[in-house]
Chain A
Amino acid sequence: MAEPAIKRSDESNKIVDEGIDKGIARLTPKKIEQVINKVLAAETGARLKTYVGTCVHCGLCSEACHYYLSHDNDPKFSPAGKVKQTIWEILKKKGKVDQKFIRDASRIAYTECNLCRRCAMYCPFGIDIAYLISIVRRLCHMLGVTPLYQQDTAHSHSATLNQMWVKEDEWTDSLFWQEEEAQDEIPDLRIPVEKEGAEIFYSVIAPEPKFRAQLIYQAAVIMNVAGVDFTMPATPGWDNSDLCMFTGDYEVMGRLKKAHFETAMRLKVKRIVMGECGHAFRSVYDVGNRWLAWKMPPIPVTHAVEFYYELLKEGRIKIAEKYDKPVTFQDPCNIVRGRGLHDKARYVVDALCEEFIEMHPNREHNYCCCAGGGVINAGPPYKMKRIEGNKIKAEQLFAAKTRGAKVVIAPCHNCHGGLEDIIHHFGLDMELHFLGDIIYKIMEKPV
């Protein structure tokens, strides 16, 4: 069983990625050593040292990782296995590693780990392996060796403060366009732009105006029907996403989160409510705020799942008729392991759907979608590797399907992207929806 797995990983080594290859061509061993030691000295300390010194090489983290499980238990894909191939070696050699090593380290850190943090729940010592892999990413970023497509999103963030090169007028146009569209359905519907003092700043990720504009439409309908006092800004800072957090470009990550928080402050809102995105939540709630020295976000941040929970619990939206297809639910890592929203999500699903079928494992123990952590953003060169690297997810979905599930609900853009490919590639023939899709479809709307 092990042989095909090794063959697959060998094939993935041959992937041509100009971002990585051209970055490597600019490096020399001396430069590598200098950068590594500078970054390690300036940015790492007790955590790195303690984690590396405490790991007893027991391998218990292995079964936590969907890459390991999906590659027929190939140890090179185990969490500690990936640490061994990267940061252990870097520390052992005191940064004296060559270009080929950095090429492999970059491939492993950016495209063979989603930073989903499941392994922290399987390591008896609670070693934060995602943190160790993040250090490798930071080193690769500082060396200029990042996957091309991922780096493109980082460039977009840097230039436009959003992920998808959306220009300022395109953004507001998208809002007005969706408002107009939705007014065909609800004539007095508004998407209030730049409304100072609104209760809620509704923030989304750039793919929504770029190619999933219907999500803005649906959110507007939900907000209007529920009578929510919300606004969306006309200025940069509207996008809550953050691929720089994943490339290791923490300086730009800081700029992004600062712009986001400052936009909320400028609009004098009481809180930020975010669309159904996991990584953006991680950035705003857990990572970006820390870079800006905010222990917790300076303004309350509510993820869509929690927001829908509030709306349903308070009866602000009513369900006309429950969704009749049997559904299963994908627990996204960044809002479940990252925010414990699994029970609220189940409340929402139960309120919306007639039949809910759990996938196993679930809640904090759910398998990652294999798209998050910037992996899907590494783009087409890695698409098949990403899909085949999550065979276990296909098996998990298939098991839910055999118990009757016809629809997968994934309240996260990355999960959505990842599962869409998996469902298609493995021929699972299941529908895939956001919670918002279902709420919009079945809620009571003014006639």
Chain B
Amino acid sequence: MHDIYNFVSGPLVWVSFIIFFGGSLYRLISMAVLAKKKDVIVYEYMSLKYGLRSILHWITPFGTVKWRKNPILTIVTFTFHICLIFIPIFLSAHIILWKESWDISWWYISDTTADVLAVVVIASCVFFLIRRIVLPEVKYLTSVSDYIILAIVAAPFITGFWTYHQWPGFKIMGIIHILSGEIMLAAIPCTRLIHMVFFPFTRGYMGSEFGAVRHAKDW
């Protein structure tokens, strides 16, 4: 058990971070190179001002007509995405690991707060799952990979919650927790989770076309 723990909390962490950063960088660069070769148009029309204008509207809760028309979804999706990034970075247990390994640390949230936020993330995942099963327009677009991606995202939070509360088998669950976190990081550049990296570019490009060329809003 110790060997496995050492393996997932040692080399595999490196592997997952390398895949995450290296892979995301690769995806970005290869997109940029391909665009230069085949879609010069993107470089020609991309505008910092209008790109940012569009991005800012879309990352503001209720900042677009779409968000305003779907208030529940808006609240869930914003809370989910914020917590998803916020919890792992500011969790005290994670910061202890950073402290032990690298002797660095920063501000962290209380365990109770983290506990509540983890439940929020898990509940959001359930919301997305139900949405996928129940809403015909989402179900129609759904493939097996969509469920797998959702599971990849939910797993670190379910297992982390389990481990923190020391429910039966929490030691193994702790290992699964680390592993699932690593899988999620590594999955980002390899799956549609890449939307995290590509969002500013796709939204920014559409914002540029609408703002600079068409003199219209895209939100």
Q: Which residues of A contact B (CB under 8 A)?
A: 2, 43-47, 49-51, 53-60, 62-63, 68, 73, 75-76, 78, 80-81, 84, 120-122, 124-128, 286, 290, 295-296, 336-340, 342, 361, 364-365
B171 interface residue (CB < 8 Å to A): no
Give the distance in Å from the alpha carbon of A102 to the alpha carbon of B209 in the complex: 30
Q: Which 7 A-B pairs have the closest CB atoms?
A: A45-B38, A126-B206, A340-B215, A75-B140, A46-B35, A59-B138, A57-B141
Residues of A within 8 A of B141 (CB): 57-59, 75, 78, 80-81, 84
Give me 7 other A-B pairs in contact (C-beta within 8 A), A45-B34, A57-B138 excluded: A46-B38, A54-B195, A54-B202, A57-B146, A78-B137, A364-B217, A365-B65
Give the distance in Å from the alpha carbon of A62 to the alpha carbon of B131 in the complex: 14
Stretch from B13-21, B39-47, B88-96 contacting the other chain: B39-47
Residues of A within 8 A of B218 (CB): 120-121, 126, 364
Contact with A along B187-219 (1 / 0, CB 8 A): 000001011001101111111011001111111
Report whether A121 and B195 are in contact in the complex, using a CB–CB cutoff of 8 Å: no
B110 interface residue (CB < 8 Å to A): no
Q: Which residues of B contact A (CB under 8 A)?
A: 31-32, 34-35, 37-39, 41-42, 44-45, 54, 58, 64-66, 69-70, 73, 135-143, 146, 149, 192, 194-195, 198-199, 201-207, 209-210, 213-219
Contact of B137 among A43, A81, A342 (CB under 8 A): A81
Report whether A53 and B194 are in contact in the complex, using a CB–CB cutoff of 8 Å: yes
Contact of A44 among B38, B44, B137, B146 (CB under 8 A): B38
Report whether A125 and B35 are in contact in the complex, using a CB–CB cutoff of 8 Å: no
Report whether B206 and A338 are in contact in the complex, using a CB–CB cutoff of 8 Å: no
Residues of B within 8 A of A78 (CB): 137, 140-141
Report whether B216 and A337 are in contact in the complex, using a CB–CB cutoff of 8 Å: yes
Do A54 and B140 form a contact, CB below 8 Å, given A120-B206, A124-B58, A125-B202?
no
Contact of B216 among A68, A80, A127, A338 (CB under 8 A): A338
Report whether B202 and A51 are in contact in the complex, using a CB–CB cutoff of 8 Å: yes
Contact of A81 among B58, B70, B140, B210 (CB under 8 A): B140
Residues of A within 8 A of B39 (CB): 45-47
Chain B min CB distance to A6 (Å): 11
Looking at chain B's contact residues, is the secondary structure mostly helix, strand, loop, or mixed?
helix
Residues of A within 8 A of B149 (CB): 56
Report whether A364 and B216 are in contact in the complex, using a CB–CB cutoff of 8 Å: yes
Give the distance in Å from the alpha carbon of A261 to the alpha carbon of B189 in the complex: 45
Contact of B214 among A44, A47, A340 (CB under 8 A): A340
Report whether B44 and A49 are in contact in the complex, using a CB–CB cutoff of 8 Å: no
Give the distance in Å from the alpha carbon of A53 to the alpha carbon of B54 in the complex: 21
Give the distance in Å from the alpha carbon of A72 to the alpha carbon of B204 in the complex: 32
Contact of B34 among A49, A68, A125, A361 (CB under 8 A): A49
Residues of A within 8 A of B199 (CB): 54, 124-125
Residues of A within 8 A of B203 (CB): 124-126
Residue of B nearest to A81 (CB): B140
Chain A min CB distance to B63 (Å): 11
Do A54 and B194 form a contact, CB below 8 Å, given A126-B54, A365-B65?
yes
Contact of B66 among A84, A122, A339 (CB under 8 A): A122
Residues of B within 8 A of A60 (CB): 66, 70, 73
Chain A min CB distance to B92 (Å): 31
Residue of A nearest to B202 (CB): A125
Chain A min CB distance to B123 (Å): 18
Chain B min CB distance to A324 (Å): 32
Residues of A within 8 A of B37 (CB): 45
Report whether A56 and B195 are in contact in the complex, using a CB–CB cutoff of 8 Å: yes
Residues of B within 8 A of A125 (CB): 195, 198-199, 202-203
Residue of B nearest to A282 (CB): B214
Residue of A nearest to B196 (CB): A54
Residues of A within 8 A of B140 (CB): 59, 75-76, 78, 81, 84
